[in-house]
Structure 1
Amino acid sequence: MMRYVKEIIAAGLVFMLSACGSTSNDNRAEAVAAAEFGNSGAYTLLAWNDLGMHCMDGSDFSVFSILPPYNNLNAQLIRKADTSDKHVTSGVTITYSAVASLDGKYNTTSVYNDRNSLKTNFWDFVELLFHASPLPDTGLTGNHTPDLGEYNLSFNASTNWWEATGLPMTPYNDDGSKNYYPMVRVAAKDTSGTLLATTMVVLPVSDEMDCRACHGSSSGYVAARPAGGWEQDTDAEKDFKWNILRLHDEKFPTAVSDHQPELKTAGYNGYDDAGLYPTAKNANPVLCATCHGSNALPGTGIAGIKPLTEAIHALHSEVKDPDNGLTLNSSTNRDACYRCHPGATTKCLRGAMGKQSNIQCQSCHGTMNAVGAHARSGWLEEPNCQACHQEGMRYETAVTDMSTGTLREALDTRFATNPDTPAAGVSLYRYSTGHGSMQCSACHGSTHAIYPSSHDEDNIQSMTVQGHRGTVAECTACHDTVPYTHDAGPHGMHTVFQSEVYPHSTVANHDRASCKACHGDDYRGSILSRTSSERSYTTSWGTTEFKAGHMVSCYDCHDGPEGY
């Protein structure tokens, strides 16, 4: 029955899109955004994925696992009236459900597709790997894969957001095709069931965390061949994993026997003293983080053993790329990272920075040796916004030394992440807040998918709430009446509507230096004074119109900052 329901809904979506004339995803996104009228009322609902891309081990978990299917959905519901106490944290129900992507295809299950082929065998091995026994299509935290039903988000008071964690998403549509960017609809209703607001967001997931380019038996990459020869498993999803376990046992033959007490204390009683390869051959898949701790899987690891981030990156830094012969550490572009991180097809670095060819993974993270440095804490020591956005400047590299990954020192905090967030000594964008206690991700998009994204589905939410792509920058997205301010807007902004025309001169005359942060040292405008949409201002001497993208300067209406 569900299959036919999906087909009916998808057919309606395709009809609506075809009625718009163009079949490009760009226009399709505009059509979907225009039809999403849920945010036209008294509330605005903003939702986001916490990372911008989640990785999973693909269809097979029978040999070893690095990461399970685990996606996090966050949301904030805003009351448009008033200028304070705008967050709605109770008295409502916020739900998620699957919705078709722009191609009209659904991803409503993580078990079997419409052709009765298995999407992933994760649930056959979840207890051995993660000491949990969720039902199929239920994740490690008890939340269900998005389908056509509605499932609740819960409010997390410590972060001030609504959330559904551990959603077991897979990158396979129900018709069997690949989709790294499945979509969900998020809806807010009051206690009587009246719809308050809706939004649509991507829950990205990729299985391109794939080592077969070097470790596959047919790769021809001699340096990665185990001493005993290639595995030659006919299942390509397993083959490269067997070869990796063989190599691990060759390099560290006593890794299991030396740590049996710690393994058993952690509840892993099926590891064979002979090594990881025989352990997995005995139908006991290996969780890499059991020994190599990962902050992506809190509580994992054995003391004295390198954490997973260090072990993998440091080991492979001098490995030569099979395509160009350069060591992965010497690379200065994202192709090296896309070898293992998603990826050549997924292209997870798709946001505003990723769309610029001159900004690479290394521009923010440094080289592979820097990422795998011994003292670095993976997943927590990450680039911050202020390393590039400071003093009215936008730098193209966050690091001052790629070999060490040293971040540029911040000279101001206008665009800074919050210090000691979410823990002492770390400062993560995905936990930071800004204007009106909004999460940075709510207005700017998820990590690696900062608005505007090169992937059209990512842009639907911003288009829905403000009518155009890009950072949610229109005051009316969250305010029914635009409040006047000269410095209390996002990042210290002033009001940018008609009400700012006459008061701005008084403010500028008293504190002209503060204008430079966005309008430039010469007051001729900068990327930070760029209009996000068309604007028109009327004064006693006429009307001035700005097209979207215009860099507003003192010279637009005056003869410079001293002019009248």
Structure 2
Amino acid sequence: MNARTVPFPFPFSFLLFLAALFTAVTAIADESRLQVSPSSVLMNVGATATLTVTSASGTVSVESHETSVVSASYANGKVTLKGLKAGSTTVTVKDRNSSRDASIQVLATSTGGGGTTTGGTTTTSTYTLLAWNDLGMHCMDGLDFSVFAILPPYNSLHAQLKDKSGKLIASNVRITYEAVADSTGSINTSSANKTNFWSWVNGLVGLNPAPNVGLNLDGLATGTPAPGNKAPSLVPAPMSYNTQYAWFEAEGIPVTPFDDTFKKNFYPTVKVVAKDLSGKVLATTTTVLPVSDEMTCKGCHSSITTGNAAAMAAKPTTGWVFDANADRDWKKNILKLHDQNKLSNTLYKTGLSQNGYNTSGLLATANGGKPVLCAACHASNAYFDKLNKTTVMKGVAGTTPFTQALHTKHSTVKDPATLLPLDNINDRTSCYLCHPGSATQCLRGAMGKAVDANGKLLMSCQSCHGNNAQVGNKARQGWYNEPTCEACHNKAAPGQRATSGVNANGVAIVPTDHTFATNANTPVTGLNLYRFSKGHGGLQCEACHGATHAIYPSSHADDNTQSIAVQGHAGTVSECSACHTTALPVTANGGPHGLHTFGQGWVKGHESAAKASTSSCTYCHGADYRGTALSQVKMAKTFTVENGTKSFAAGQKVGCYDCHNGPNP
């Protein structure tokens, strides 16, 4: 018998307990071995930091893996670190028996027109590397896949490399990713020991990747899937170059939300490294591969003995399953309820037969040792083959698509905790009941954390996506018809923000103002998706602005590590010096989004552009020419002006009155 088809013999929670126990015993044994503290350090260029070495045996040596980023020396039980340039690296401390690694992140202290300034010395880096996750949060429906699967462990990492002349680098480089400790010291270097996915993946999708290797949907639509990518580990894994999107990628990385101590961490971090063909490091960066297992239905479908009417509404007529394994219990209840409501339906029986499921129903199928894939019957564009630009899960003809079925069915359901309908337009928690989630808080970017003067959230998930009924509207295609940036970021923005980025049918609003727009007909005709759009210098929008749901600056610290490293502050990568070392041309439309370039050159030479059309300045500087959020300085700057110098504090909104008596002095 194929070992991969054998049902898991023990509750997965028990296996997690054994693994945690083993980790604890190992930790006790390791107390007498080499120890290095702390395991991660965040420091500035020019600063020094110290690692403490204890329980060393014999001669101690220390190595910085990237000596251009940080130097390291050892003496008398201490490792002295000095930050040399912005970037990240690993420092390894060894004695005669073992070794320990510490993750080091060096941040720029301040940036000017030519590079990173430290104590009066300006250093420059030849390349800038930007990496990002495409959705801001990937989901997996729990750690047990023996009953059914909505989404497997599947993450996407993209990266672009620029030289400081502004050119994207596509060849003669090798870019890799590897696990690295985050700012709290948490590290995630494996996945196969944390989920039973690899025991059931073949039964779910007919593929059989090795443990710790993920699925790759690219090419699957034509039967030739690309090789799977590995879970991040301490061994660098390669990324491949995608000519169409001009990015390096690793699709389907199977990362889980548990670190190496089995502690929950929704934001595991990876280090991305670019090297030339000789092995010389060109640039490094650190980013998150966010993943949550809070995409569950257990809020309403877990077996319970008592509860209010809303909590008991999903109880099958013949009773709850009460499976001893909590991860399987809610899934079995769903299959039981599905059978109860649909088994007499001819189309339902067709789906069972077409997918090789037990004709007695889905619960019988799962109980018989074959897991159910929801997308096998309900088409899902979440399974997107971007090489062939189509979903690979087209479902059973005549069956409602997955996004439509779920959101429409549950739009009238009440949250057992609040008793509000899930269709409530102003209640973010209604989305977090199924999507990640009350603990994950995946909507964590600049929009998701915006509050009014009283601390009330200004925006919820529904502000962009609409309510459940709109998301599930049959006029909308799930995962394809998504909100566009320009729906809210346009000349009429004050009248649209915090309402909705979609129309009554759930389809994205696309105004005529395309200043801050996603790309039309991307990635295919009729679509307009941020996660595939690009802009200034060929950089992907997400490279500078951050991933969907985690737009810079994020409320999660490790989301901001990259932008701080490349430009000296969190937020959109907007400092020209992040990608350019040469003086930029003075142009009214040559900057990002067709706006003017920034810096000392523009300050000195903008007079002719201002005289030509002061009205065009109002878009960013306001109708009163006193500045708006779009003309805000993100870090302290000093410029040479006509009568000396002018300094701006971080957060100051730049307008004509800062240096002149209005737009026409």
Q: Tell me the amino acid that sits aligned with residue 229 of structure 1.
A: G
Which string of whole-angstrom CA distances, capped at 9 and with x for unpartnered residues, describes residues 429-451 of structure 1?
A: 01001101110000000000000
Which string of whole-angstrom CA distances, capped at 9 and with x for unpartnered residues, describes residues 60-113 of structure 1?
A: 0011100000000000000113x5xx111010100000001111111110022x
Quick check: 1:353 aligned with 2:453? Answer: no
Quick check: 502-511 or 351-360, which moved more?
502-511
Q: Is the 8 A contact 2:40 2:104 kept in 1?
A: no
Distance change in 2, residues 1:202/1:332 (3 Å)? same
Shift of 1:358: 0.8
In structure 2, the residue corresponding to 1:328 is in which secondary structure?
coil
Q: Is the 8 A contact 1:138 1:168 kept in 2?
A: yes
In structure 2, the residue corresponding to 1:381 is in which secondary structure?
coil
Instruction: Measure the CA separation in 2 of the matches of 1:388 and 1:397.
Output: 9
Distance change in 2, residues 1:347/1:68 (3 Å)? same
Report the structure, 1 or 2, having the larger strand content: 2
In structure 2, the residue corresponding to 1:199 is in which secondary structure?
strand
Q: Tell me the amino acid that sits aligned with residue 76 of structure 1.
A: Q
Which string of whole-angstrom CA distances, capped at 9 and with x for unpartnered residues, describes residues 228-255 of structure 1?
A: 1011111110111111111000110145
Q: Which residue of 1 aligns with 2:16?
A: none
Pick from 506, 519, 522: which aligns with 1:405? Answer: 506
Q: Which residue of 2 aligns with 1:552?
A: 654
Q: Tell me the amino acid that sits aligned with residue 358 of structure 2.
A: D
Q: Which residue of 1 aligns with 2:608?
A: 506
Instruction: Measure the CA separation in 1 of the matches of 2:652 and 2:350.
Output: 65
Pick from 366, 390, 409: which aligns with 1:315? Answer: 409
Identical amino acids, percent of aligned pairs: 49
Instruction: Measure the CA separation in 2 of the matches of 1:71 and 1:152.
Output: 15
Which string of whole-angstrom CA distances, capped at 9 and with x for unpartnered residues, describes residues 38-76 of structure 1?
A: 995200000000110000022100111000000000000
Q: Is the 8 A contact 1:33 1:461 kept in 2?
A: no
Q: TM-score, normalised by structure 1?
A: 0.91
Q: Is the 8 A contact 2:42 2:106 kept in 1?
A: no
Pick from 563, 577, 582: which aligns with 1:462? Answer: 563
Pick from 315, 321, 328: which aligns with 1:231? Answer: 321
In structure 2, the residue corresponding to 1:185 is in which secondary structure?
strand
Pick from 330, 350, 357: which aligns with 1:240? Answer: 330
Instruction: Measure the CA separation in 2 of the matches of 1:375 and 1:120.
Output: 37
Shift of 1:494: 1.9
Shift of 1:11: 3.8
Quick check: 1:440 aligned with 2:541? Answer: yes
Instruction: Measure the CA separation in 1 of the matches of 2:376 and 2:434.
Output: 21
Which string of whole-angstrom CA distances, capped at 9 and with x for unpartnered residues, describes residues 185-244 of structure 1?
A: 000000110000000000000000111111110273221111110111111101111111
Shift of 1:427: 0.2
Q: Which residue of 2 aligns with 1:56?
A: 140
In structure 2, the residue corresponding to 1:516 is in which secondary structure?
helix
Quick check: 1:450 aligned with 2:551? Answer: yes
Distance change in 2, residues 1:474/1:31 (3 Å)? farther
Instruction: Measure the CA separation in 1 of the matches of 2:230 and 2:130.
Output: 21
Q: Is the 8 A contact 1:476 1:482 kept in 2?
A: no
What are the residue-to-residue correspondences of 1:349-498 with 2, within 5 Å?
349-356=443-450, 357-391=457-491, 393=493, 395-397=496-498, 399=500, 404-405=505-506, 407-484=508-585, 485-498=587-600
Which string of whole-angstrom CA distances, capped at 9 and with x for unpartnered residues, describes residues 361-384 of structure 1?
A: 111111100001112100010000
Instruction: Measure the CA separation in 1 of the matches of 2:663 and 2:347.
Output: 72
Pick from 237, 243, 248: which aligns with 1:157? Answer: 243
Quick check: 331-340 or 192-201, which moved more?
331-340
What are the residue-to-residue correspondences of 1:67-86 with 2, within 5 Å?
67-81=151-165, 83=166, 86=167
Q: Tell me the amino acid that sits aligned with residue 166 of structure 1.
A: G
Q: Tell me the amino acid that sits aligned with residue 130 of structure 1.
A: V
Q: Which residue of 1 aligns with 2:78?
A: none
In structure 1, the residue corresponding to 2:382 is in which secondary structure?
coil
Q: Tell me the amino acid that sits aligned with residue 397 of structure 1.
A: A
Q: Is the 8 A contact 2:133 2:547 kept in 1?
A: yes
Distance change in 2, residues 1:283/1:9 (3 Å)? farther
Distance change in 2, residues 1:498/1:242 (3 Å)? same
In structure 2, the residue corresponding to 1:543 is in which secondary structure?
strand
Shift of 1:359: 0.6
Instruction: Measure the CA separation in 2 of the matches of 1:42 and 1:10.
Output: 33
Distance change in 2, residues 1:15/1:498 (3 Å)? closer
Instruction: Measure the CA separation in 1 of the matches of 2:543 and 2:553.
Output: 13
Report the structure, 1 or 2, having the larger helix content: 1
Q: Is the 8 A contact 1:263 1:290 kept in 2?
A: no
Stretches of structure 2 that go unaligned for 5 or more consecutive residues are 1-22, 51-87, 89-102, 110-114, 117-122, 217-227, 384-390, 451-456
Quick check: 1:222 aligned with 2:312? Answer: yes
Q: Is the 8 A contact 2:475 2:506 kept in 1?
A: no
The number of residues matched between the two structures is: 541
Q: TM-score, normalised by structure 2?
A: 0.77
In structure 1, the residue corresponding to 2:441 is in which secondary structure?
coil
Pick from 13, 34, 49: which aligns with 2:39? Answer: 13
Shift of 1:517: 1.4
Greater radius of gyration (CA): 2
Quick check: 1:306 aligned with 2:400? Answer: yes
Q: Is the 8 A contact 2:463 2:501 kept in 1?
A: no
Q: Tell me the amino acid that sits aligned with residue 244 of structure 1.
A: I
What are the residue-to-residue correspondences of 1:236-315 with 2, within 5 Å?
236-254=326-344, 258=347, 268-269=355-356, 271-297=357-383, 298-300=391-393, 301-315=395-409
Q: Is the 8 A contact 1:398 1:407 kept in 2?
A: no
Pick from 155, 174, 177: which aligns with 1:96? Answer: 177
Shift of 1:412: 1.1
Shift of 1:409: 4.5
Stretches of structure 1 that go unaligned for 5 or more consecutive residues are 22-28, 113-118
Instruction: Measure the CA separation in 2 of the matches of 1:15 and 1:406.
Output: 46
Q: Is the 8 A contact 2:484 2:510 kept in 1?
A: no
Distance change in 2, residues 1:15/1:204 (3 Å)? closer
Instruction: Measure the CA separation in 2 of the matches of 1:19 and 1:228.
Output: 67
Instruction: Report the RMSD for the aligned CA atoms in angstroms.
Output: 2.6
Q: Is the 8 A contact 1:47 1:199 kept in 2?
A: yes
Shift of 1:389: 0.7
Quick check: 1:328 aligned with 2:422? Answer: yes
Quick check: 1:34 aligned with 2:34? Answer: no
In structure 2, the residue corresponding to 1:491 is in which secondary structure?
helix
Instruction: Measure the CA separation in 2 of the matches of 1:320 and 1:9.
Output: 52
Instruction: Measure the CA separation in 1 of the matches of 2:502 and 2:240.
Output: 42
Shift of 1:32: 2.8
What are the residue-to-residue correspondences of 1:112-123 with 2, within 5 Å?
112=193, 119-123=194-198
Q: Tell me the amino acid that sits aligned with residue 547 of structure 2.
A: S
Shift of 1:452: 0.1
Quick check: 329-338 or 92-101, which moved more?
329-338
Q: Which residue of 2 aligns with 1:191?
A: 277
